[in-house]
Amino acid sequence: MSNIGFIGLGTIGKPMAKNLIRAGHKLVVYDKYAKFDDILALGAEGAASCKELASRSEIIITMLPSPPHVKEAILGVNGVIEGIKKGAVVIDMSSGSPALSGELCAALEGKKAAFLDAPVSGGEPQAIDGSLAIMAGGDKAVFDKMKPILEKMGSPVILAGDVGAGNVVKLANQMIVALNIAAVSEAFTLAARAGVKPQLVFEAIKGGLAGSAVMNAKLPAILDGDFKPGFRIELHIRDLQNALDAAHSLNVPLPLTASIMEILQALKADGFSARDHSAIIRYYEKLAKIEVRK
């Protein structure tokens, strides 16, 4: 089995790493902020820096909060690039930007190493059971070699195109999810104000064209007033900012994405940053002065 270096052992990264260990891979792990004694207890070895981790690994996976964190881990002082071996592969599974993916790929090619961007869709439960959707960008030969490893962490595992394509797909996913939650929020706020029970609206429309995986997943928690984080608003803000930045660099207007971004910013100002993105409905409830509950 491959020697894998895993950087980023947070809410999603830690169960991903555990699944690789259970699959029989030898792991070297590092996280600047999170504790990972439980990973070491499963047989992983710790590293003192990203540089050291890279020097001990054939494959390096990053699962970090934001593009600046990824850039620091790979290109920064004591970063992966300072210790990487010729022929190694770096797989960035963070939610990043297509532009950064291109920059990382070019830098790593200078070290005779390969790069894939392979962000994921799904929350902690999917990370735990290995069912994250993985969308990759990069060279097909590299992807084909890495696919069996990626399949230990998720399914489906899809090659979307060249380097950066994985992040483009992830950004498209995040745009659609945010806008879908906003559409559900608007519709059910109207229903509640009109005196129609939201649960009955849900039962009536979920099997038709208006039905969606987003509504099925998020509305029951909304109706219970349960906004415990599955995917935090602050993280969705990060992803939509990446989407807007990418779109602006390509001269693509995203008026709806810009609108939902402002709604998320309003929720952030109201103290909802750490709540689940289903709390988008709180914005509409505040405007309509009504709560949408069972």
Which amino acids are annotated catalytic? 170
Structure tokens belonging to residue 154: 């998720």
The closest alpha carbon to 272, from 227, 211, 213, belongs to 227
Q: Which residues contact 236 (CB under 8 A, 6 or more apart)?
A: 174, 177, 178, 264, 277
d(CA 139, CA 18): 27
Helix (H, G, I), strand (E, B) or coil at 37: helix
User: β-pairing, 120-121 with 154-161?
Assistant: unpaired
Number of residues that this document lists for the chain: 294
Residue 76: C-alpha distances to residues 2, 55, 69, 72, 107 (Å): 25, 15, 9, 4, 12
d(CA 119, CA 141): 18
Answer whether the bond into residue 156 is a cis peptide, omega within 30°.
yes
